[in-house]
């Protein structure tokens, strides 16, 4: 497949005469006739199958959107487990995550142009009227400048863009008179006070009513912001300037970009994650393409596409060259230090970097895009979703997945650039997994833990704004669209801005001449503007040949790679000190640690904590040795804590009307049945015991026999409760926290320990639920009486749960052919989960063995145990709660572990528990009968779609 340049456009040339061919590549909308051969046996997807999948995306969108409008609007977001809106201040704070919420109906605004892309023009017209009528932008509330810009300002501008397009076509929006643009301009002025800094970098937060530094603003004291936060403004601000003719917005956004460019590290041409908005000093000096930096690079390239300013392209190319030199280690993308770019800054990757293959497609650099995308896909096939962070040997680092769309975005761009039907199959997998694991009665719930399949009460606005847009476009043909998508560019939130803005109200700005651009190898720019070079050789199997070596990279290998220092020195030096040999009392060992940049901190409890500062190492080689040492120490500590730290468990509600769609995170017990060794789990109806605390003989054994007992925490030891219900004939037990409002969202994973005696007599499984999760089950009992649950190590496929039973059509796994949806799920055994699951990863946990009167506990939290008889040190890495756009520790703690012969799945590290929100079904919740009525409508719609297709 070849891309031809415009007449007179040479290889690597930039400028206006390259604009039209560039646009074709930038949007990834190449002719569908340029189809590469698929992998052997795959074949091209039929038009009927593509249409079926496109219709399925539409049905899924309707399920999410209609539930938001009915149960949440005008709130900012839907809480899909408790079926209500998330209103800031009325729910437990989630920290920086809540800065996106401004009481301005966020999800509706973010979804406006998605409605038009999905051909829902009537719904779009109604939505615009609601926004104009109901949305208030003058709330006394502090919001993120970055999130408000990309979601709300971008949403209003995207809505305005498609509104004027529809009005011009003459059928819809004839009444529209730029109302969304007027709102966008009002919001733009509300964001401008954030730019009142000497540097031009904006404050990270602004009060919509009072601005910044006002006595009532409650903001303006911040000193730091992330690079992406300050560098992801130019598209929306420039579009606002050019739509309105008011140049101030574009000028402010350009000034922020200019300042970041000037502050790049000159020798590496990289930027850090966090910068001081007043001095320009780098606060966090690690650099990558994921959280905290990601969309800064994206906007440099897209600003050139939309605005035609060569300086943006030159800056992007300079950064891209540095990324490919230092950060790209195909198929991995690893953070490095900006001053020492040959030194890796961390040993894990975050999910936000999944956008980067798509950006490489826009750049025209296809090979590394295919490689990284395939690596990410293999991680998804292992865990069903892309974990929020994962290690270099593809283990879970942060287990949550908030339904992010970046991987779908890259899949779409790769398909449009290559025409390879392989990417249609990837999109099909994404659809199946969303329906199988994330779909709940009131929408789609984010994954709290990809290992257990548990949910959190969260459906972010970007899920509607981006995920369904990219998935629908992946399967849509040109004739399925009511407008030409090639006339628009996507913002980082997938909002549509028309390319004709490049010649409208153009801001006249002088090219930045304060610094010279680094002289780079011209070959780096060969594909920056499409030219006569072909993206693929004549061999149609080229894309497959790139992917093939990565097929088993996740499950069957433990890639560590040779460090750059080792590579330059042949076999390279070996670490001078192994963690298993370390003794904190050995002066020689301490001297070696000092040389490697590792320092010791003596804690009050007598333990010693190790902290690694790579910049304090004697040399880069010593720093790498220190990183390896720290990783070995963490692995050693983790192995010694295996018996003390158990992974989370899952409580899955399988009875009507839930049918396995609601999964609750549960804490394990250090006694009783080990659910990880009983893959089928324990299934039964629940029953409340008497007395409810379970601390004496059960007085209602007839109600408990052959059931799973529910009991309250407190007043005696957990093992005593277990023995009492086991004696009464229970097949399992669930202890519910008596602390009102407690939740796994805001508290560490809770483990129930024994009583110091032999607990071999306890043979039933015991799990612990925090108060909010437990109330979901208790409320279900009050509503339905008979409630059946499954206790297991992780959520099960519904086809497995309901094997041999008739179940409603709509809950059968979406990967079964829709024409077979009226059959029993027992006919679909081939869709059982992979039996070779990776071992679950331990979480930081507290183990409590006894509960004195009054409900108090004496506890031993999950601090590392002594590493060995000869060592009193414990390796620990402290990680603060992270902003989704500024993730990762400031100081590196470990490098990836080397593989042990025959060990393809090393023991996993500890991670933090996640925070979000999952409230119980309280009096504010819509009655269950009403929820079921809504669900029945979904069932009927699904069945109608099935009949239409048949």
C-alpha 786/C-alpha 208 separation (Å) is 48
The one catalytic residue among 123, 294, 420, 797? 294
| CA-based nearest residue to 772, from 887, 664, 621, 890 | 664
Asked if 718 contacts 752 with a C-beta cutoff of 8 angstroms, the reply is yes
DSSP three-state, residue 827: helix
- Catalytic (active site) residue 147: yes
Closest to 147 (Cα-Cα) out of 200, 106, 201, 87? 106
Between the CA atoms of 450, 373, 464 and 487, what dihedral angle is there, to the nearest 10 degrees?
Answer: 180
Tell me how far apart the alpha carbons of residues 146 and 277 are, in angstroms, rounded to a whole number: 14
Greatest CA separation for the chain: 90
Q: What are phi and psi of 385, to 5 degrees?
A: -140, 165
C-alpha distance from residue 866 to each of 403, 585, 754 (Å): 38, 14, 21
Q: How far apart are CA 581 and CA 899, in angstroms?
A: 19
Q: Give the span between the Cα atoms of 192 and 247, in whole angstroms.
A: 12
Is 484 exposed, middle or buried (CB count within 10 Å of its CB: 0-12, 13-18, 19+)?
exposed
In sequence order, which residues have a C-beta less than 8 Å from that of residue 865 and are 6 or more positions away? 637, 640, 641, 644, 874
Q: What angle do CA 117, 121, 122 make, to 5 degrees?
A: 150
What is the token pair recorded at 232?
A: 């992801």
853 is catalytic: no
**Torsion angle defined by CA atoms of residues 782, 788, 794 and 800, in that order, rounded to the nearest 10 degrees:** -140
CA distance 465 to 368: 27
Residue 273: C-alpha distances to residues 96, 147, 423 (Å): 16, 17, 32
Q: How far, rounded to the nearest angstrom, does the alpha carbon of residue 164 sit from its chain's CA centroid?
A: 33
DSSP annotation of 83 reads T
Q: Which DSSP helix (H) or strand (E) runs through 790?
A: strand 788-792
- Report how far residue 562's alpha carbon sits from residue 860's, in angstroms, rounded to the nearest whole number: 40
Strand ranges for 123-176 from DSSP E: 142-144
Catalytic residue (one of 76, 125, 147, 883): 147
**Neighbouring C-beta atoms of residue 812, cutoff 10 Å:** 24
How far, in Å, CA of 672 to CA of 681, rounded?
A: 13
End-to-end CA distance of the chain: 36
Q: Considering 76, 314, 406, 632, which one is annotated as catalytic?
A: 406
* Rounded distance between C-alpha atoms, residue 449 and residue 914, angstroms: 8
Tell the residue number behind the tokens 């392209």, with chain if given.
Answer: 313
* Token duo for residue 12: 């690597």
Which structure tokens are listed for 2? Answer: 């070849």
- 492 annotated binding-site participant: yes
Kindly provide the residue ranges of all beta strands, DSSP E only, lying in 450-514, ordered along the sequence. 454-456, 488-490, 496-498
Inter-residue contact 104 to 116 (CB < 8 Å):
no
Our answer to whether residue 406 is catalytic in this structure is yes
Separation CA 256–CA 251 (nearest Å): 9
Do 79 and 916 meet the contact criterion of CB atoms below 8 Å apart? no
DSSP, collapsed to helix, strand or coil, labels residue 559 as coil
490 contacts 498 by C-beta, under 8 angstroms: no
Q: Which of 76, 236, 365, 388 is catalytic?
A: 388
Q: How crowded is the C-beta side of 486, counted as CA atoms within 13 Å?
A: 14
| Active site annotation includes 294 | yes
Tell me the C-alpha to C-alpha distance, in Å, between residue 178 and each of 34, 156, 919: 39, 10, 39
Task: Give the residue among 215, 190, 216, 186 at the shortest CA–CA distance from 203.
Answer: 190
Residues designated as active site: 147, 294, 388, 406
Binding-site positions for Ca(2+): 492
Binding residues: 492
């Amino acid at each position: 497949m070849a891309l031809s340049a415009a007449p007179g456009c040479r290889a690597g040339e930039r400028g206006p005469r390259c604009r039209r061919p560039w646009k074709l590549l930038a949007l990834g909308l190449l002719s569908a006739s340029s189809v590469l051969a698929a992998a052997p046996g795959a074949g091209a997807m039929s038009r009927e199958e593509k249409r079926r999948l496109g219709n399925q995306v539409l049905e899924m969108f309707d399920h999410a959107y209609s539930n938001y409008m009915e149960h949440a609007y005008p709130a900012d977001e839907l809480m899909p487990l408790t079926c209500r809106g998330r209103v800031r201040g009325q729910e437990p704070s989630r920290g920086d995550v809540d800065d996106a919420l401004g009481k301005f109906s966020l999800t509706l605004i973010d979804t406006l142009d998605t409605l038009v892309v999905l051909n829902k023009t009537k719904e779009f017209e109604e939505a615009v009227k609601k926004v104009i009528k109901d949305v208030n932008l003058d709330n006394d509330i502090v919001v993120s400048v970055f999130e408000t810009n990309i979601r709300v300002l971008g949403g209003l501008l995207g809505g305005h863009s498609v509104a004027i397009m529809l009005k011009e076509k003459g059928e819809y929006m004839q009444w529209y008179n730029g109302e969304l643009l007027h709102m966008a301009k009002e919001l733009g002025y509300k964001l401008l006070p954030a730019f009142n800094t000497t540097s031009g970098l904006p404050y990270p937060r602004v009060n919509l009513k009072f601005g910044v530094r006002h006595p009532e603003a409650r903001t303006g004291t911040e000193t730091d912001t992330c690079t992406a936060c300050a560098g992801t403004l130019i598209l929306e601000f420039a579009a606002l300037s050019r739509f309105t003719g008011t140049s101030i917005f574009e000028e402010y956004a350009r000034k922020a970009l200019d300042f970041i460019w000037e502050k790049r590290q000159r020798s590496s041409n990289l930027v850090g994650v966090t910068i001081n908005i007043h001095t320009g000093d780098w606060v966090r000096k690690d650099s990558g393409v994921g959280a905290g930096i990601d969309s800064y690079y994206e906007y440099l390239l897209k600003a050139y596409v939309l605005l035609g300013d060569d300086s943006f392209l030159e800056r992007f190319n300079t950064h891209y060259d540095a990324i490919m030199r230092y950060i790209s280690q195909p198929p991995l993308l690893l953070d490095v230090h900006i001053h020492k770019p040959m030194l890796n800054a961390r040993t894990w990757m975050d999910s936000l970097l999944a956008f980067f293959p798509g950006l490489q497609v826009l750049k025209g650099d296809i090979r590394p895009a295919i490689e990284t995308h395939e690596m990410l896909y293999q991680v998804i096939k292992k865990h069903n979703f892309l974990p929020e962070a994962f290690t270099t040997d593809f283990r879970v680092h942060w287990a949550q997945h908030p339904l992010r769309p970046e991987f779908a975005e890259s899949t779409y761009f790769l398909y449009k650039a290559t025409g390879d039907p392989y990417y249609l199959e990837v999109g099909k997998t994404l659809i199946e997994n969303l329906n199988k694991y994330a779909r709940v009665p009131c929408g789609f719930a984010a994954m709290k833990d990809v290992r257990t399949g548990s949910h959190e009460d969260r459906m972010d606005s970007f899920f509607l704004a981006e995920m369904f847009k990219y998935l629908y476009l992946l399967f849509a043909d040109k004739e399925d669209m009511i407008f030409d998508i090639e006339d628009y560019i996507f913002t980082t939130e997938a909002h549509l801005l028309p390319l004709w803005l490049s010649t409208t109200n153009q801001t006249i700005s002088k090219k930045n001449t304060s610094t010279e651009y680094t002289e780079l190898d011209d070959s780096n720019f060969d594909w920056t503007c499409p030219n006569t070079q072909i993206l693929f050789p004549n061999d149609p199997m080229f894309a497959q040949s790139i992917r093939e070596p990565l097929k088993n990279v996740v499950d069957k290998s433990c890639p560590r790679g040779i460090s750059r220092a080792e590579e330059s020195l042949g076999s390279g030096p070996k670490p001078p000190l192994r963690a298993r040999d370390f003794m904190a009392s050995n002066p020689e060992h301490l001297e070696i640690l000092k040389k490697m940049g590792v320092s010791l901190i003596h804690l009050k409890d007598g333990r010693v904590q190790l902290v690694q500062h790579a910049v304090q190492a004697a040399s880069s080689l010593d720093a790498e040795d220190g990183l390896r040492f720290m990783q070995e120490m963490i692995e050693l500590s983790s192995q010694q804590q295996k018996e003390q730290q158990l992974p989370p468990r899952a409580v899955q509600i399988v009875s009507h009307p839930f049918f396995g769609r609601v999964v609750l995170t549960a804490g394990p017990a250090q006694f009783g049945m080990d659910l990880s060794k009983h893959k089928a789990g324990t299934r039964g109806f629940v029953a409340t015991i008497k007395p409810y605390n379970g601390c004496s003989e059960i007085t209602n054994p007839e109600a408990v026999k052959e059931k799973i007992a529910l009991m309250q925490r407190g007043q005696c030891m957990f093992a005593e409760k277990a023995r009492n219900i086991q004696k009464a004939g229970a097949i399992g037990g669930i202890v519910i926290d008596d602390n009102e409002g407690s939740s796994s969202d805001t508290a560490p994973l809770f483990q129930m320990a024994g009583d110091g005696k032999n607990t071999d007599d306890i043979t039933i499984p015991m799990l612990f639920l925090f108060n909010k999760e437990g109330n979901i089950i208790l409320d279900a009992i009050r509503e339905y009486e008979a409630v059946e649950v499954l206790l297991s190590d992780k959520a099960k496929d519904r086809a497995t749960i309901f094997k041999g039973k008739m179940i409603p059509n709509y809950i059968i796994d979406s990967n079964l052919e829709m024409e077979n949806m009226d059959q029993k799920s027992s006919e679909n055994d081939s869709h059982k989960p992979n039996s070779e699951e990776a071992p679950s990863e331990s979480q930081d946990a507290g183990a409590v063995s006894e509960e004195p009167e009054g409900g108090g506990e004496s506890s031993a939290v999950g601090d590392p145990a002594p590493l060995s008889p000869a060592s009193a040190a414990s390796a620990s890495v402290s990680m603060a709660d992270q902003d989704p756009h500024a993730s990762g520790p400031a100081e590196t703690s470990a490098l990836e572990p080397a593989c042990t012969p025959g060990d393809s799945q090393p023991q996993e590290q500890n991670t933090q528990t996640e925070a979000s929100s999952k409230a119980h079904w309280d009096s504010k919740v819509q009655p269950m009968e009403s929820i079921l009525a809504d669900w029945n409508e979904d069932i009927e719609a699904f069945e109608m779609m099935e009949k239409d297709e048949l």
